[in-house]
Amino acid sequence: MSEKPKTYIINFYAPDVDLWQLTTYLHDSRDIIAYWNYIPLVYCIKSYLSAEELTRKLQAYLRHSFMIAEINPNNINGFLPVEAWTWFYLDHHEKRAEIRSLADLGKWPLPLSRR
């Protein structure tokens, strides 16, 4: 894709959110290019999906109140570690299919049907 992914911030109330499941989805899903979680109950993500599409996907993990909003990385400020700020400007790449066996190494990248 030639366009850059959009950057979003997700805030939520978490009395019954399984943070392990949510983080696993964000880490493993090809819908999410990259994410960070430097503030409790706040995730920033990069994705090619719209906020509406992400809302539908995240409802499986965030069953109650949550908000997702696109943010402008060129107009952000606050007090965070340097690594948190650097993340906004990194050129993250799309996730690739995982290699299931050593035999797949010679076939990289895997065809879409194997992903």
At residue 4 the predicted structure's pLDDT band, cuts being 50, 70 and 90, is: confident
Report the pLDDT value the prediction gives residue 64, as an integer from 0 to 100.
86
User: Each residue of 39-92: pLDDT tens digit?
Assistant: 988 999 999 999 999 999 999 999 888 999 999 988 999 999 998 888 988 887
Residue 104 corresponds to which tokens in the numbers above?
């797949």
Mean pLDDT over each residue of the chain, to the nearest integer: 83
Q: Where are the domains of the chain?
A: 6-114
Please give the order of strands across the beta sheet that includes 42-47.
34-39, 42-47, 6-12, 66-70
Report the pLDDT value the prediction gives residue 94, as an integer from 0 to 100.
59
Distance CA 6, CA 54 (A): 11
Report the pLDDT value the prediction gives residue 115, as an integer from 0 to 100.
40
